[in-house]
Amino acid sequence: MRRLAILGSTGSIGRSALSVVQSHADRLEVVAMAAGANVALFAEQVEQFRPRAVAMASGTAIDRLRRHGSDAVTEVAGHGSDGLVALATRADVDMVLCASSGTAALEAVLAAIEAGKMIALANKEVLVMAGALVTEAARRRGVEILPVDSEHNAVHQCVHGRPAHEIRRLILTASGGPFRGHSAEALAAVAPPDALKHPTWRMGRKITIDSATLINKGLEVIEARWLFDVPPDRIDIVVHPQSVVHSMVEMVDGSILAQLGVTDMRLPIQYAFSYPDRWSSPLPPLDLARCGRLDFHLPDHEKFPGLRLAYRALETGGGLPVVFNAANEVAVEEFLAGRLGFTAIPWLIAQAMDAHTPAPVSTLPEVRALDAWARAYSQALAPTVQLKG
């Protein structure tokens, strides 16, 4: 029985993870759960899975959970970052699934690693902000970080057990989002409702916008560098609209290994939960005959300049990935609020990156301080941009 702490149980990844737990109740047990502010759904989950401890984003949310009247809430571990840390370091937890959005889980992941827990990682910000810190801690403690994102999970399946000298490059696939065929003029007119209609995946609002700008793929390039210890010039992106091939690995002899599967996040989540074993899945297998054609083409860096910015952040190093991530979060919030144009999202990120003097970032307080500066700078600049297209 693998005992789980699920951080972010009410989000799309968290809900899929609980579905996997239901399918393998003889192998998986949820002993700790955390959620943001969705008290009604969280109360239902707590009632069904009966964790030993819970946490929420705020004290107000916890008060509302208590008033909800559930008799399944046995222990409240706390709220905010402290609550996540308390759950992630419990003695009765074997694996921590980090599925919470934003940066609040960074301390929890580091604490879980220090406590020797396996990490199933579905949170991009953790490695984008502090990839060196997290992976060094994992190496020192001998902790496995298992990626849950479909792309990195696919790469893990392809490279697992292979020596690094056999790998030439990683090839991350991208659906291309809803605007892959749009002209520059059409992109300038994109409104939030348009960008929230992803053609393949059903995800949270922020990651859906990131997929529309292709910045999500840039974040994944930064993640891949730390997960697989591969330099940025050996990580490529191809647009694959069908989202059947989740990613590929080119070997030194020219062979390309690919992982294919149905577009359902329960598969990579189950892979992480069962690792190093594989379990049968209740999902239908991929029907290759019905897939039809599979297309691949290069992304347009001119129309989607966020990709260039991500590579620049990774190649420059230091704290620039922190600035890239923070400025993007602010820009997405401004866009969703109707205060920033779609094509102004990468523009705002570039301004924040240009304003930052790259320097090494080697401690968690330094990461947090730089993240706060980048957010404040971007928030102050955003109103001057208005609806820049």
Tracing tokens 């003097």 back to the chain, one arrives at 357
Closest CA to 389 of 348, 345, 343, 349: 343
Print pLDDT tens along the chain (389 aa): 999 999 999 999 999 999 999 999 999 999 999 999 999 999 999 999 999 999 999 999 999 998 886 666 679 999 999 999 999 999 999 999 999 877 889 999 999 999 999 999 998 889 999 999 999 999 999 999 999 999 999 999 999 889 989 999 999 999 888 888 888 888 988 989 988 887 666 677 888 899 999 999 999 999 999 999 999 999 999 999 999 999 999 999 999 999 999 999 999 999 999 999 999 999 999 999 998 899 999 999 999 999 999 999 999 999 999 999 999 999 999 999 999 999 999 999 999 999 999 899 999 999 999 999 999 999 999 998 755 54
Among all chains, which residue has been given the structure tokens 């307080």?
365
Phi-psi region of 358 (alpha: psi -120 to 50; beta: other; left: phi over 0): beta
How far is Cα of residue 349 from the mean position of the Cα atoms in its chain?
Answer: 19
CATH class of 153-385: mainly alpha
Contact 94, 5 (CB under 8 A): no
Answer whether CATH 1.10.20.140 is correct for domain 2-122.
Answer: no
Please list, in sequence order, all residues whose beta carbon lies within 8 angstroms of the beta carbon of residue 167, skipping any fewer than 6 positions away. Answer: 159, 228, 230, 234, 249, 250, 251, 252
Q: How far apart are CA 197 and CA 248, in angstroms?
A: 26
Q: By C-alpha distance, which of 6, 198, 217 is closest to 94?
A: 6
Q: Residue 126 and residue 195: Cα distance in Å, rounded?
A: 25
Using alpha carbons, select from 344, 349, 324 the residue that is nearest to residue 187. Answer: 344
**249 touches 224 (CB < 8 A):** no
Task: Return the HEC string of the chain.
Answer: CEEEEEECCCCHHHHHHHHHHHHCCCCEEEEEEEECCCHHHHHHHHHHHCCCEEEECCHHHHHHHHHCCCCCCCCEEEEHHHHHHHHHCCCCCCEEEECCCCCCCHHHHHHHHHCCCEEEECCHHHHHHHHHHHHHHHHHHCCCEEECCHHHHHHHHHHCCCCHHHEEEEEEEECCHHHCCCCHHHHHCCCHHHHCCCCCCCCCHHHHHHHHHCHHHHHHHHHHHHHHCCCHHHEEEEECCCCCEEEEEEECCCCEEEEECCCCCHHHHHHHHHCCCCCCCCCCCCCHHHHCCCCCECCCCCCCCHHHHHHHHHHHCCCHHHHHHHHHHHHHHHHHCCCCCCCHHHHHHHHHHHHCCCCCCCCHHHHHHHHHHHHHHHHHHHHHHCCCC
Positive or negative torsion for Cα 362, 102, 330, 306: positive
pLDDT at 70: 64
Q: Name which of 39, 81, 74 is nearest 60 in CA terms.
A: 39
CA distance 65 to 142: 37
Per domain, the residue ranges of the chain are 2-122, 153-385
Q: What is the rounded distance in angstroms from the CA atom of residue 218 to the CA atom of residue 211?
A: 10
Phi, psi of 97 (to 5 degrees): -95, 115
pLDDT of residue 389: 47
